[in-house]
Structure formats: structure tokens, C-alpha cells
Structure 1
Amino acid sequence: MPQTGVGGHWKDRLPPERAYKRRAGAAAPAIEQDRAAGGRNQRNVDLGDGRLARASITLRLYRSTRRIRAYLRWSKDGKTEERYVCEVESDSRKQNLAEAWRQARANGLLAEEKLPPESTASSLDVRASMRGNRGKNTKPELLLRSLLYRRGMRYRVDIRPIADVRRRADLVFPSDRIAVFVDGCFWHGCPDHYRPAMKNADFWREKINSNKARDAETNEMLAAAGWTVIRVWEHDDPARAAAQIENAVRRKRGSAHLVATADARRSGH
């Protein structure tokens, strides 16, 4: 009969990797942490000088004792700090993260973030989403552009893919006819992070639904004109998004080369 208590049922074997390792194809780390903590704004620690830092939970396996320990980690002035939280015993990483966040909160390791008096948002989650996409040159856009540039990709920024259609894309590869949009979670109704506003609910619901309809219409218009549309959420892993975009561009260029070669052979050149 297995023992009870923290780590008791791992007395004679190591915990399964799914209890502490991230699986391939899992949600981006930030989304995973947000879900486990109960929201992005539930992950704060007090730096002691009026500032808050966003923290994460790290799970570590100690093979000699067959235990999984959870640690709270955050950055202060460029230096990573860490605090032990508890031991966890579920066979599920998701459940172990959630339990660690619960223990961190119960132990007073987390700080409560409050809405500033001037904010018109109905909650912290809504405010964070609204601030996530304020226009061009957002942080997710800049990071994605930097990664693509390092991969040798060249593109145009914030232009109309089709000159006479009033729709602008965040990144455009004109010769490849690829348009990239980096969508903010609040303004574009992200299924993972969008939280309906409580204040002026009807207005915001209509606004977000209108934005989503416009996005769908833009996709259709560009596709009908022979463009490939790639949409990236602001919370997406930027490295993964950059790889997706690069692969799409290289596939287009490879196809174009094959077509040009076939045409040349048919014409006898």
C-alpha cells in the first residue's frame, strides 16, 4: 500500500517526468504560469521599494530523495532571486504548479496588485490586456522583428499589403506576399487571456466583436488577393512565431523557384 504524505508514493521510484517537466507542444511558459496562478496579476512579488516583479514557479526533481520541490523565482535589478515554496506530489505538472502557487499565496510570498486610481479598466487582467497592444512598435512586435532579422529575414513594417485597401499589417514580405499581424489579447479577443470588461460592458463587447469581424474580413480579403496571412498573439512564444514565419517565407520562395525553373524548361531556356 503506498504511503501518504508529500512525496510518499514515490518512495520506491522516481516521479514521472510529466510531474515536473514541460511537455513538447505545451502552452508557452507565460501562459502556463498564468493559468496555474489564476491570472497574470496573481504572480507578483513585492520588491520592497514600491515595485512589483512578475514571478514564476520552477519545479525541481531531487533524485536522491525522490522529491519534487517548488521554488518561486523573480528578477530584481537584473539579478534572479529565488525562494523555496514547498514540496509537491501530484503526477501532473499542471497540478503541481497550481499547488505551488496556492502555497506561495498562503505563505504570504505574493503581493497584491491594485488598480491605479486613474484606471478605467474593470480589473487588473483587463487593464493588462488593454495595455498589451497600444498600436505599432509594441514590445512583442519589436522582439519578433529582432528575432526575424537575426534569422536573415528582411521585411517592411506597418504598411498596407494591398496599396488601395486600408488594412495595415505589422510585418510584410511584399515579394513573398506574406502579411504578419501581431494581435493584442484584449483588442482582438484572445481565447486564452481576454476578459470581458465589467464597466461599459455593452460598448466593449461590441468593440471587441467588431475587431474580430474586421480581422476575419482582412484575412479573407488578403487570401483572395493571393496573400498568406499569419496572425501571432502577443503572448505567443516569439522564437516559435519567428520560426513559423521564416518557414512560411522559405516555402513560398522555394515554390516560386520551382515554378520559375519549370517555366524556363518549358520555354527551352
Structure 2
Amino acid sequence: MKLKIFNQEAKGARDYAALLVMLFAGCIVGAAQETEENKESQSGATSVKLSQEVMNPTTLAWQLQLEEYAIFKTEGQDGFAQNFRFRGIIPLKEGFLIKVPQLIRVITFLNTAPDGKTGLGDLTLNQFFLLTKKDWGEFGAGWNIQIPTRTDDQLGSPQWSIGPAFTVTFTDLGKWQMYWIWENFFSISGNDKYGSSAYAVLQPNVFYTWANGVYAGIEPEWQIDYKTGKVAIPMDFRVGYIWSGKLKYNAYIEPEVMAYRSDGYPRNSSNFGVRLGFRWYLPM
């Protein structure tokens, strides 16, 4: 009986992976059709520039980002899990109080635990102020707040958290692009009941762009617990395609594996998964 259930779960995971690949292929086919219909030709430099502008996390553009993370192996648990992320980005050329360009991000999740429980995850708000823009790139700083909107403790944190965030973008690297994002989260509620929480997420991003809109690179999210020193270091590899039609678009697929995790680290138990993302951009 256990073997039968396991085989059914494995078949379900394989079917889900096939669905992800089919959806991604559909995005690419649609992209090629729209690019063909768009008669405006671009030079290689223009295409590389377009790709780098779209990937740059400090580009001032209205954005809608959808990402499905299908998790096929979870540490210490059986069953398929997933995180569906919705992220909207609001650009401001000049803030109301702080008179510099800035980006406001609203991030929500619909999660499924390995046991099949599905519901809302936490809501995160962050705001980046673009403080310095030079020939080499940009520097920004801001804040995060994580709101415990999860419908079950398996799907998110029970505590409110807040902390500073920083980003550095290097754009004067030819067809390469590199940027770093450092976010911090410190719990400000429920510490008596759950214990205080303090951790950081460091995101190193390195991409290479081709003139035809294809790009490849890494965008992992490394985590460190400030209180215990324990870490989770996943590694991924993204292949994507950026094109311009009525709007600007970005479609990608990204397998991820856990390269190293300290024993007992609680916040990222995924051992292997695949991300499928699609993003719309509307320049200001």
C-alpha cells in the first residue's frame, strides 16, 4: 500500500513537472510570435540593453510578477509542496517625504505544505530608496515588513518582522550584470510565545545576456540566522527570455537544489524544486 501511494505521488510530481515545462514552452512560443509580429528590428546592443533593464531590480517600472515554485523534495517530509508568489512593484520618481526615486514592492504567497494543506502565506512589503546612481551602477536602501497573514503555521510565520534592506547593482559589465540584495528580518511580536527571531536573506545575482533576448545566470536566496549562526545555501540556475511587444516581458525556468543547510535550520526545508516565472513590465 505504501509503495502504491508513493508511486502515485511520484507520478503526480512528474505530471506537475511536465505541466510546468509545457507552460514555459507556451510562453516562449507566444514570445516568438509576438516578436515576429513586432516589425521594429533592434540591434544586438539594444537587445542586451533591454534585457539588462528588465532584470535590473532598481529599474523604475510598473511590474506584475508571477512565480510558481514546485518543490519535489522536502527535508524530512514526503509529498509535493509548492509556493506561488505574486509580486507587484510600484515605482515613484520622487517620494512624498524622501525626495528620491523609489520602488514599493507588495509580495503575497499561496502555499501548499507537503501534507497537502494549502492556504495563504505571509505578506511582505518593502520599499527601496535609490540613493546613488553612477556609471558603474546603483545603490539603494530601504526597509521590509513581514505580516503574518498565513492561514496555517506550516505556511508561514506567526510573527510580525521588520528590518533594513540594501541593494547594489553593477551594470557596467558588458553583457554581464551583477546585483546583490541584502534583507533583514527581526521579529517584533510574539517573542514571549514563540521566541525572538533575527535572520537575513542575501541574494547574489549574476546574469549573462545574449543579443536575442535569452539570458542565463543564478539568483539564489541565501539565509543566515543571526542568533544561531545556522545557514541555508541553495543554488539555482535560471534560463530565461526577454522580449518587447506592447509591454516588456520576462519568462524563465529555474531549477534549485539545496547545496548546504545547517542541521536544524527551520526556514528553508526545500531540497529540490523548479521555479517557473512570468513578468510584465510597464515603463514609467
- Normalised by the size of structure 1, how large is the TM-score? 0.28
Bigger fraction of residues in strand: 2
Q: Which one has a bigger Cα radius of gyration?
A: 1
Bigger fraction of residues in helix: 1
The structure, 1 or 2, with the larger RCO (C-alpha pairs under 8 Å, 6+ apart) is 2
